[in-house]
Structure 1
């Protein structure tokens, strides 16, 4: 078995209004699902992606109001790399600058890259990618041929980078394609969410909080998920039970470098409880929380 790459990346935020504004208005992503953290229903869980919420395009956030600023470091993913079509980088450099966002242009692995942070200091980048297609999402000020197509990859800050790389190669099917300074780049077949950069020089311990990544989810299928759980356990990893996340099922485990990974199914997807035209427009709750809707809505932050 091999994963097909990234399913989604989940990060911490602090202010739900600020988070929504940045990812929908500045980056032009679609809010494909507004729900709650199933383990903490008093907190929102936002899912952003392309028009249809395809795996590999999804960024999700837990906006914990009043939370402390996190510290990016070992045991975490550090930066989310977003893909745009060829020729779109000048558009994004100007757009981000027009919003007052500090942008640094650099070259990584012989690619021009824009480095910046979101409104709550989460590390992001934008790079051109001719293989990721075109986002059909239409906004008033972002033409489709410039729109973000999805998550190209993430940077992994591992306590044991050699072990992390070996795991990704031996278990997930990634292959090393190069090194650039402190980073080793791994890729897997696919057109989106198929790249990982592993930092090979150590740094301080990561501390969770807004501006940091909680976990990285990889794609699987329902048929293979049970096999992944068995394989992980046989390899010495402590994997969670299969958990129902309404739009996918998940297992969680920490790889040897301390980073929290998830194996998430493509099925059933975000259309299971909303039509395509209505994605993200209302608060959706799973059946086991629906009976508590009034209480949940009473404690969720208000900003409208």
Structure 2
């Protein structure tokens, strides 16, 4: 029988193979089936489990020995009580350290890290009463000032002078309490000085003039603020002496101003307001503030 290329007349031979060519292979149905992989697992798992049991047993015996046997044996190491320790101190319960004498204190005890105020032994009304003895006119909140505006601070002292200089000096001193409450602690003192000149009266003034009067106003106020506290008064006076030339400089005549702090922790700062002109009348002003830093 003629054969065709690619056609195998005997199914036991491979394609294009016959008795004379190629290697004989048994038919596919007569080959032994491959061994399933799951039959190999016992040969791997059983030795691994046995090894784990041996290791686990050894670890268990060691733990038992450490926990049950070793504690019964005497130890040569010193006991914990024999080790010297630093003496224990009483807990502070988070309470802040008491302030130095004369130093600022928290305005609100429940918020010690916030705003600072003058100590309780600073009496602002006594300061105002002392300034009144210098010839100043002292008013209380709600009363009208010389220019007709109501006083908004707890107390305010003011004065005016137009003798001996070609301008009119107006000065005021007031104080403010924490959170602007009547019962709040003393927070700050404000000193304001202005010089006004009317050209039609032959008067004249410059931005340097208020600073001269501000020095006098500070000296009057400081001695009453720190009355009976010579150390703090000395500190404030010395710091202001260093600050005076800066207050008189161009930097001290700006809104930002300049400042310095006393060793006890009180800040003294000065700055100037923008000149106000109305017709041929001009006013220059400068301010100073004393408050806890």
Same fold (TM over 0.5): no
Structure with the higher fraction of residues in helix conformation: 2
Q: Which has the larger radius of gyration?
A: 2
| Greater length-normalized contact order (CA 8 Å, ≥ 6 residues apart) | 1
TM-score normalised to the size of structure 2?
Answer: 0.23
Q: Is the strand fraction higher in 1 or 2?
A: 1
TM-score by length of 1: 0.23
